[in-house]
Structure 1
Amino acid sequence: MDEVLRTIAVYLILLVVFRLTGKRTLAQATSFDLVIVLVVGEATAQALLGEDFSVRRAAIVIVTLVLLQRGSDYLAWRSKTFDRITEGAPSLLISDGDVLAKELATHKLRESDIMEAARDKHGLERMDQIKWAVLEKSGDITVVPREEEASDAGVKSV
């Protein structure tokens, strides 16, 4: 019976904490958010199964970690410097069709990674069809086709 009560208590703690701290989709989650989820999962498991780890201690660990993460999100939202330090900044990988090899090496990317994004998002087949490629803070690669490629692909240019 103790296990059932512990499970209900941990469930309610997690429900309240995550409802109060706001919503974020998996697409918006950072790699550090994943680390927080893993640590929260370990604290939860210890509270549910561990003999020496109380539900109260698990609640303190979970709430502290989530508040620290949300505090970090808030500081990144309020301060561009903090955001740049903790989240990074977008990086230009291709500029006017020229591959910036140093940037690719810095981020451990290959030209094939850029072409994969170009094919997936715009149906492009060659590197010379790309005007810009940017590695976003999220890790996604944004590809902007050259003007003639954009109009050929049926994309409206502004």
Structure 2
Amino acid sequence: MELVIRGVFMYLFLMVIVRVMGKRTMAQASTFDFVLLLTISQVTQQALVGMDYSLTGAVILIIVFVAVNVIFSVIKGKWPFFSKMMEGTSLILVDNGKMLPIRMKHSQVAEDDIMLAARSTHGLERVEEIKYAVLEKDGTISIIPYKSES
């Protein structure tokens, strides 16, 4: 039973940590982020199994993680508020060619990140060419350019 409690606790704890880290951290992981993720996984493994290195313990933990994940999926499907709380919502960062610095700072998105997305998806060179830039729930930036008058 201790393994089940450890598994549920670590799942919830890691979900909160990933949520606090922010969307951009997950979408554009740097080398430092990758090293941090590896370190967290090693510490998590030690916290989960303690001194139990048995195959049975590993199977129990895997079943607990899958079960908790399925339960959260069902809850998110039934209550949109819970889904919004756990996954967040999309956020407009550029509105009609004007950057929204407070939102960008809160989301840890730099102007360079937006312009990179604008150049790579639409070949845009200036922020004034962007009608909307949206930080999606998965951490990517969607660019909606002004319609060209051709």
| TM-score interval (norm. to shorter) | 0.5 to 0.7
Aligned twin of 2:127: 127
State the Cα distance separating 1:69 from its structure 2 match: 1.6
Report the 3-state secondary structure (helix = DSSP H, G, I; strand = E; otherwise coil) of the residue aligned with 2:61: helix
State the Cα distance separating 1:74 from its structure 2 match: 2.5
State the Cα distance separating 1:142 from its structure 2 match: 0.4
Give yes or no for the alignment of 1:110 onto 2:135: no
Report the 3-state secondary structure (helix = DSSP H, G, I; strand = E; otherwise coil) of the residue aligned with 2:94: strand
Q: Equivalent residues in 2 for 1:1-158 (5 A)?
A: 38=41, 42=45, 52-148=52-148
CA distance 1:119–1:62, change in 2 (3 Å): same
TM superposition score normalised by structure 2: 0.64
* Distance in 2, Cα, partners of 1:140 & 1:130: 16
Report the 3-state secondary structure (helix = DSSP H, G, I; strand = E; otherwise coil) of the residue aligned with 1:147: coil
State the Cα distance separating 1:51 from its structure 2 match: 7.7
* Distance in 1, Cα, partners of 2:103 & 2:88: 14
State the Cα distance separating 1:105 from its structure 2 match: 0.7
State the Cα distance separating 1:78 from its structure 2 match: 2.5
Q: Which has the larger radius of gyration?
A: 1
CA distance 1:128–1:51, change in 2 (3 Å): closer
Question: How many residue pairs get matched?
Answer: 109
CA deviations 1:89-140 (Å, max 9, x no partner) are 1111011111111100101111110000011111111111000000000000
Structure 1: segments with no counterpart, 5+ residues: 1-30, 153-158
Structure 2: segments with no counterpart, 5+ residues: 1-25, 27-36
Task: Report % sequence identity.
Answer: 32
* Distance in 1, Cα, partners of 2:101 & 2:51: 54
State the Cα distance separating 1:79 from its structure 2 match: 1.8
Report the 3-state secondary structure (helix = DSSP H, G, I; strand = E; otherwise coil) of the residue aligned with 1:53: coil
One-letter code aligned to 1:62: I
One-letter code aligned to 2:135: L
CA RMSD of aligned residues (A): 2.4
One-letter code aligned to 1:95: D
CA distance 1:57–1:112, change in 2 (3 Å): same
Aligned twin of 1:6: none
